[in-house]
Amino acid sequence: MELSRDEILRYSRHLLIPEVGLEGQQKLKAASALVIGTGGLGSPVSLYLAAAGVGRIGLVDYDVVDSTNLQRQVVHGTSTVGKLKVESARARLLDLNPMIQVDAYNVPFTSANALEIATPYNIIIDGTDNFPTRYLSNDVAVFLGKPNVYGSIFRFDGQASVFYAQKGPCYRCLFPEPPPPGMVPTCAEGGVLGILPGTIGTIQATEALKLLLGIGDSLIGRLLLYNALDMSFDFVNLRKNPKCRVCGPEADIKELIDYEEFCGVPGHDHETGSAGTDWDISAPELARRLGEDSPLLLDVREPHELQISALPGALNIPLGTLAARLAELDSAREMVVLCKAGTRSARALELLVSAGFKRVKNLQGGINAWAKEIDPNLPIY
């Protein structure tokens, strides 16, 4: 694929590198990459692949930009808050490089559409924020015989690898099963250093570019472990798992499955949690009840979160210590459990019910819902 005069000028710094050169840049122009998720990881990945001149970039996301994204999702901006993420990102990428094609898929990536969406692309880049979509992305890559450039983050830690079943292990070889629902918090629940996806995402973009160019030693068979606090980079070896259910010799998963059922969690990282209609109480209903018989408020957030917002009189027992502190609670007294957005409190409620507590409710939408609907003086975070 020939480069125009404008492209030769634009990619001059690549053309000067012998490992890329004119031939490599032509390869990139003819290449394509599907970026699943336009969040923390998808931002640097898509920006750098666009800048590098990867000819066709697909973006899959169905969310809209909100202001809590902007601490790390640098492909978006204040001016695109409220707009579709794929359209926000597409506009930014085409501003950076109008000489490429950007395909926007404003849909959830699901078993029903994943193979069709991914088929036209050379590589898949996993920038998702939830386990169901990670397992789906892996299985799609295995079934289509494509490399899956993996990245994952939590607070100060990042992982990166290239899963490519034709040449090495896949994601399921390393993680045959997801964690039990609720055991591993998401970034919406646990937070993340804003720069961290920049570090891991640029590593993913680097790996993608190397694969497309056919240069260097890729992360196939190696897992990078990065810790920003220690500023440490560690590598461990990954081998194919002979018992892998999708790429092993006796694989029994031959087609895409129901990944939300497999993982027991929804395929998104939206933070509003619910314990089910029988167990939820809305913020206005709680406000009314507090004026009557004063149920105990049990706040299961971490202590540092109470410095942001808190309800007066609430007892703070962080979710992680609740199981060991049940004796502090009176099971005869009615209790309303709350957290930031209702997810952790829903888990706390499950724990309480399994321990025999019957008079418990979950504040739907958490203290953020209370701030939105009852007390505008409280900040939302």
Partner 1 sequence: MPTLRVPTLLKYYLNDRTELTVCGATVAAVLDDLVRQHPAIQSHLFDSSGRVRRHINLFVNADNVRDLKGLETAVGENDVVKVLPSVTGG
With vertex at residue 192, the alpha carbon angle to CA 191 and CA 197, rounded to the nearest 5 degrees, is 150
118 vs 311, which CB is nearer to partner 1?
118
Least distance to partner 1, CB of residue 197, Å: 7
Catalytic annotation present for 187: yes
Instruction: Please list every residue from 251 through 280 that binds partner 1, using CB under 8 A.
Output: 269
Site string for partner 1, 73-102 (x = CB under 8 A): ------------------------------
* Distance, C-alpha 326 to centroid of its chain: 32
DSSP-assigned beta bridge partners for residue 219: none
- Rounded CA-CA distance 376/370 in Å is 8
**Residue of 183, 231, 327, 332 that binds partner 1 (CB under 8 A):** 183
Catalytic annotation present for 173: no
DSSP-assigned beta bridge partners for residue 266: none
Whose tokens are 């920003």? That residue is 228
41 vs 211, which CB is nearer to partner 1?
41
**Residue of 37, 53, 248, 365 that binds partner 1 (CB under 8 A):** 37
**Residue of 320, 325, 328, 379 that binds partner 1 (CB under 8 A):** 320
CB burial of residue 276 (10 Å; 0-12, 13-18, 19+) = exposed
**Dihedrals φ, ψ of 232, to 5°?**
-120, 140
Considering only the stretches 34-42, 88-96, 97-105, 343-351, report the one whose residues sit in contact with partner 1 under the rule CB under 8 A: 34-42
The answer to whether residue 327 forms part of the interface with partner 1 (CB under 8 A) is: no
* Distance, C-alpha 369 to centroid of its chain: 23
Helices 283-290 and 366-373: angle between axes, nearest 10 degrees: 80
**Residue of 184, 287, 315, 355 that binds partner 1 (CB under 8 A):** 184
Contacts of 241 (CB under 8 A, 6+ apart): 169, 172, 173, 174, 176, 248
Helices (H), ranges, 123-248: 131-144, 171-174, 187-190, 196-213
Site string for partner 1, 229-248 (x = CB under 8 A): xx---xxxxxx-x-------
Site string for partner 1, 195-234 (x = CB under 8 A): --x-------------------------x-x-x-xx---x
Binding site for partner 1 (CB under 8 A): 37, 39-42, 126-131, 134, 151-157, 159, 174-180, 183-187, 190, 192, 197, 223, 225, 227, 229-230, 234-239, 241, 269, 320, 323-324
